């Protein structure tokens, strides 16, 4: 009898080794190598799609007919925005997020809306029973006949039920609980996740079914399992938010059918997730007027301008090395702004603790926030309040200059709509277009000039 061939595969990065190692050479993770049989992979045994599908041949690009597939609106506007306008038939979408953040609620809510539009949806759960799903459906007031619920973890059985129901959309919660009977490793392992995802990808492409996969996340926030999983799917969407806040943010990090810059914002209620049409009002509703260290900035999230409040606190340190803490923004940008303020503006900050926070817990990563960070830090250091009617936009360079930003028209239009009376923007962005009426626009060339305008000028 031939000896069974085995290999050791890292469960974090898919690194393979002929022998066991305590530390993976690929990702330096300890105790992540798991033994797997080589001959257990169904693709190697001739059971994959290549053995039963028609062989493809090269076709000249001029002879390919481009057919625009109609998108399927989910009925959830914020979800459609992130997907790029709706669900693409035959697409495979990976949906990740922290435990308890609301992934299953959002997908069940989407499935219920689609089923009410006469779209057949199959919701497969490997983690909850039928009664548990029914309790959630009752809470969300979902009760359409075209929504089918299945509790199953074997991929062959799931494929059999898909062929019977013939749905337009399939939701699988979650991919880490599904297993392939021909793979000997445990559910959630690299081999199981890879083979089950490959089987679902084949189903989606051949039958034109949109498939949503729920993926667990690691403690670092990345989707658990091999990185190849994210390369196999058409879109990777994260559902994120703070546990102490009711709002949730839907963000795409990969999308073959749309932009990866769009975000969708929801508010969590007892009856489910509700869309937030105007997120700027939500982020600014609790802002304190006349507070030192507070300033409003305009950030672009895809095509949507979002106004948020930046809060800074600068206080003398009681340690040898001052603290630098940033929440919601990159802490390296905070260190850079502190260095610019000390070198170019003359503020003595080397013996000061500096804390900066984006109010509401939203995470932003855009250079246009630099000027707001610098002004809020200077305001807190000098203990001078800013005007509640000012909005600040601009990128700051290492020499202290204020550089231009993109989409200044949308940012100013949003600020004017919310009642702001003055906008401090880069001088470069004041030329080449007609400035809007109803809001005073002041162009600045340096951080020092911007601080003088905001803190030394007359408040409105």
> What average pLDDT does this structure show over 320-344?
93
Burial class (CB in 10 A: 0-12, 13-18, 19+), 188: middle
CA 160/CA 16 separation, integer angstroms: 32
Location of structure tokens 């001739």: 46
How many other C-beta atoms can be found within 10 angstroms of the C-beta atom of residue 84? 18
d(CA 447, CA 408): 18
Cα 207 versus chain centre, distance: 28
Tokens 């890879």 sit on residue: 194
Residue 54: per-residue pLDDT: 58
- pLDDT score for 244: 67
Give the percent of the chain with pLDDT over 70.
91
Q: Please state, as a whole number, how many other Cβ atoms lie within 10 Å of the Cβ of residue 268.
A: 17
Q: Does the pLDDT value for residue 235 go beyond 50?
A: yes
pLDDT value of residue 120: 94
% of residues, the chain, pLDDT over 90: 53
Task: Please say if the pLDDT value at position 29 is more than 90.
Answer: no
Residue 46's pLDDT is what? 43
Does the structure show a pLDDT above 70 at 363? yes
Which residues are CB-contacts of 389 (< 8 A; sequence separation ≥ 6)?
A: 419, 420, 421, 422, 460
Statement: residue 3 has pLDDT above 60:
no
Q: Helix, strand, coil % (nearest 5) of the chain?
A: 30, 25, 45
Confidence band of 459 (pLDDT split at 50, 70, 90): very low
Please return the burial class of 19, using the count of CB atoms within 10 Å of its CB with bins 0-12, 13-18 and 19+.
exposed
Task: State pLDDT tens for residues 94-137.
Answer: 998 888 888 999 999 999 999 998 899 999 999 899 999 999 99
Alpha carbons 374 and 196: distance in angstroms, whole number = 50
Record the pTM. 0.75
Secondary structure class of 74 (helix, strand, coil): coil
CA distance 121 to 124: 10
Q: Which residues are annotated as a binding site for ATP?
A: 97-104
**Quick one: which of 355, 403, 376, 386 has its CA closest to 456?**
386
Q: Tell me the binding residues.
A: 97-104
3-state secondary structure of 395: strand
Cβ atoms 194, 226 nearer than 8 A: yes
**Average pLDDT estimate for 200-226:** 81
Phi-psi region of 182 (alpha: psi -120 to 50; beta: other; left: phi over 0): alpha
DSSP 235-253: EEEEEE--TTSSEEEEEEE
Q: Are 379 and 312 in contact (CB under 8 A)?
A: yes
pLDDT for the residue 189:
80
The single-letter DSSP state of residue 223 is: B
Distance set, CA 139 to CA 20, 143, 172, 249 (Å) = 48, 10, 20, 22
Query: What is the distance in angstroms between the CA of the first residue and the CA of the last residue of the chain?
Result: 88
Q: Does the pLDDT at position 50 exceed 80? A: no
Q: Is the pLDDT of residue 325 over 80?
A: yes
pLDDT at residue number 42: 47
Say which residues have a Cβ less than 8 Å from residue 213's Cβ, sequence separation at least 6: 92, 93, 94, 95, 172, 174, 175, 197, 200, 233
The pLDDT value given to residue 310: 95
Mean pLDDT, rounded, for 143-161: 93
Confidence of residue 90 (pLDDT cuts 50, 70, 90): very high
- When pLDDT is averaged across residues 201-215 and rounded to a whole number, the result is 93
pLDDT in tens, 251-264: 888 999 888 878 88
H or E element: which one contains 443?
strand 440-444
Is the separation of the CB atoms in 393 and 424 below 8 Å? yes
pLDDT surpasses 50 at 335: yes
- What mean pLDDT do residues 411-423 have? 93
The residue among 140, 101, 363, 111 whose CA lies nearest residue 248 is 101
List the beta strands (DSSP E) in 108-234: 121-125, 147-151, 169-173, 210-215
Tokens representing 417 are 């709509």
Are 390 and 420 spatial neighbours (Cβ–Cβ below 8 Å)?
yes
For residues 70-89, average pLDDT: 89
Question: Could you tell me which residues are beta bridge partners of residue 273?
Answer: 268
Which residue in the block uniquely carries the two structure tokens 């799917």?
Answer: 233
Least confident of 12-21, 163-172, 371-380: 12-21
Dist. CA 89–CA 72, nearest whole Å: 7
Mean pLDDT of 210-227: 74
d(CA 38, CA 412): 60
State the CB neighbour count (10 A cutoff) for residue 404.
Answer: 17
d(C-alpha 334, C-alpha 332), whole Å: 5
Q: What is the pLDDT of residue 179?
A: 92
Structure tokens at 170: 């399939």
Helix axes 331-340, 370-382, angle to 10 degrees: 60
User: Is residue 390 predicted with pLDDT exceeding 70?
Assistant: yes
Q: Collapsing DSSP states into helix, strand and coil, what is residue 21?
A: coil
Residue 281: which residues within 8 A CB-CB, separation 6 or more?
418
């Amino acid at each position: 009898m031939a000896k069974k061939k085995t290999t050791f595969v890292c469960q974090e990065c898919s690194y393979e080794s002929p022998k066991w190692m305590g530390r993976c050479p690929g990702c330096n993770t300890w105790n992540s190598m798991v033994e797997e049989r080589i001959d257990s992979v169904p693709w190697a045994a001739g059971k994959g799609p290549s053995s039963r599908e028609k062989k493809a041949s090269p076709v000249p690009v001029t002879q390919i007919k481009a057919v625009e597939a109609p998108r399927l609106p989910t009925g959830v506007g914020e979800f459609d925005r992130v997907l790029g306008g709706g669900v693409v038939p035959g697409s495979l979408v990976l949906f990740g997020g922290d435990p308890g953040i609301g992934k299953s609620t959002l997908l069940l809510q989407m499935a219920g809306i689609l089923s009410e539009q006469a779209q057949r949806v199959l919701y497969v759960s490997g983690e909850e029973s039928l009664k548990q799903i029914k309790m959630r459906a009752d809470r969300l007031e979902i009760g359409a006949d075209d929504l089918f619920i299945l509790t199953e973890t074997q991929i062959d059985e799931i494929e059999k039920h898909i062929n019977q129901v013939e749905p337009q959309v399939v939701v699988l919660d979650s991919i880490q609980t599904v297993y392939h009977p021909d793979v000997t490793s445990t559910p959630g392992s690299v081999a199981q996740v890879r083979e089950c995802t490959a089987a679902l990808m084949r189903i989606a492409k051949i039958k034109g079914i949109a498939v949503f996969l729920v993926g667990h996340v690691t403690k670092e926030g990345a989707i658990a399992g091999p990185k190849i999983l994210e390369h196999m799917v058409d879109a990777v969407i994260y559902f994120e938010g703070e546990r102490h806040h009711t709002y949730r943010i839907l963000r795409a990090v990969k999308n073959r059918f749309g932009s990866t810059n769009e975000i969708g914002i929801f508010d969590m209620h007892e009856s489910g997730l509700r869309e937030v049409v105007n997120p700027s009002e939500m982020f600014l509703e609790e802002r304190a007027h006349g507070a030192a260290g507070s300033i409003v900035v305009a950030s672009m999230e895809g095509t949507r301008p979002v106004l948020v409040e930046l809060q800074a606190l600068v206080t003398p340190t009681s340690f040898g090395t001052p603290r630098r803490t940033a929440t919601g923004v990159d802490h390296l940008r905070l260190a850079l702004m502190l260095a610019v303020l000390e070198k170019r503006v003359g503020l003595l900050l080397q013996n000061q603790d500096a804390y900066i926070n984006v109010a509401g817990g939203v995470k932003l990563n855009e250079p246009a926030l630099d000027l707001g960070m610098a002004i809020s830090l200077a305001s807190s250091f000098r203990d001078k309040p800013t005007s509640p009617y000012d909005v600040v936009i601009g990128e700051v360079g290492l020499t202290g200059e204020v550089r231009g930003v993109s989409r200044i028209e949308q940012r100013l239009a949003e600020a004017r709509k919310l009642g702001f009376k003055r906008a401090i923007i880069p001088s470069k962005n004041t030329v080449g277009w007609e400035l809007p009426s109803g809001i005073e626009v002041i162009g600045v060339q340096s951080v020092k000039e911007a601080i003088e305008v905001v803190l030394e000028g007359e408040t409105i």
